[in-house]
Structure 1
């Protein structure tokens, strides 16, 4: 099992299409303050940038080690559990948890590779990007003014993680929300996002060959299937079994 410090080291913060480079620097500072250091930047508008460096203060090492990728799929490919973030609850078919509950879930599942995804300053995450995530992490606030700066959002989430893994004072660590799920800590690791994407491609191909899907218009059916499997969160062993089932169907349809 990973130690608390190792868990913090392995939690990835992902920023999607960040508009202001200063926000990237401020987020690096917020992360380092709370013991986080793994930062991925998905298609940032302007980076590297002097403004990012100046806002990072003493967290230039986090910026220097940040990895820039073109898509969210790349950023989370090796992750087994991905949290999308939002300022409020949404019409979302997957589990919705507060920042504190998310930290508790991560504590109860210490062997998972975690990514926490933050969207664009003005528009957040697209529906397609939300579809790549297993859980929605929301930060409750004033319902009449739920506009939260992205740097503040990262700071809040980072603090909840630090409470769970960076501190050792019982009066600061909340366990009420997590006691019922502690038993899952030793369960087999979830399948990685990369493996899930390969499974979805295989699933769509097989269902098209059987005639269940119209090849050029898989439409809503495949999306609903993806949502169903995302809710189920199969582990690596279960995913191999599902791929085996698809392979058997492929043989029956004479697929080469």
Structure 2
């Protein structure tokens, strides 16, 4: 399970936090660190704060965007301390660990995403996540350092990796063993883009005033936990709809040409 989990840190501004996060990961047996457009370097301070977890720092993957970081992941969970305009599935760390355990059993890659020290993740970044996780803290002193948040989540991942299957099944997870692997973020994103274009083609969606239609549809499909076969079915359906729409337009144009003569 732990080998399938990516710790993704977005726009981290302090080298010490990167090092401390690496230390937290190694304490709990996680090793895959991804840095999205980091503002801080992996320098001597980061190595010192890692406390002999420099192997994680040296093997860290750096990407320009969050989309690139999570492209191969079937489950993406973003840490959030704030409520959002559009409600999103929300879990505590233990519930998140249960869902992570099940996704890992299915062979999926999992990303736990942590935001900026000062402002966390943006709404757009949180919309890329299947669910959000909130770490419960004292309401009078709720601010957590990002490396502390990484430590809490890695601890819960460690606990979930050690429980037996019966205990995992009793936890709050998607209680189905899929016959196909969960779709990756890139596959789901491609399907949603295909859906959006199809809705525009058939006149259902006005691209000039889309409102929050696609955000809500993204939430629907991410909440459902779509697998690879389901993605293929949906995209086949959209392609058929587009071919039918193109055929109708061709027939309509031919009829108009006939009338003009």
1:251 has 2:232 as partner: no
Distance change >3 Å, CA 183–CA 198, structure 1 → 2: closer
Inter-CA distance 104–91: structure 2 relative to 1 (3 Å threshold): farther
Q: 1:51 to 1:114 in 2, by over 3 A?
A: same
Q: Describe how 1:1-256 pairs up with structure 2 within 5 A.
A: 7-87=1-81, 93-109=87-103, 110-111=105-106, 112-165=108-161, 167=162, 175=167, 178-179=170-171, 181=173, 183-254=175-246
- The 8 Å contact of residues 99 and 172 in structure 2, kept in 1 or not, is answered as no
Give 1:134 shift.
0.3
Assess, with a 3 A threshold, how the Cα gap between structure 1 residues 176 and 73 changes in structure 2: closer, same or farther: closer
- CA separation in 2, counterparts of 1:182 and 1:252? 36
Number of aligned residue pairs: give it: 246
User: Partners in 2 of 1:210 and 1:118 — Cα distance?
Assistant: 38
Contact 1:87 1:141 in 2 (8 A): no
CA separation of 1:133/1:182 partners in 2, compared to 1, >3 Å: closer, same or farther?
closer
Aligned-pair CA distance for 1:161: 1.0
Deviates more, 1:88-97 or 1:48-57: 88-97
Unmatched 5+ stretches in structure 1:
1-6
Partner secondary structure for residue 250 of structure 1: helix
Q: What residue ranges of structure 2 are gaps of 5+ in the alignment?
A: 248-261
The answer (yes or no) to whether the contact 2:169–2:175 under 8 Å persists in 1 is no
SS of the aligned residue for 1:80 comes to strand
Give yes or no for contact 1:94–1:230 (8 Å, CA) kept in 2: no
**In structure 2, do the counterparts of structure 1 residues 220 and 183 end up closer, same or farther at CA, with 3 Å as the change threshold?**
closer
For residue 89 of structure 1, report the CA deviation from its aligned partner.
Answer: 6.1
Q: Distance in 2 between matches of 1:219 and 1:194?
A: 23
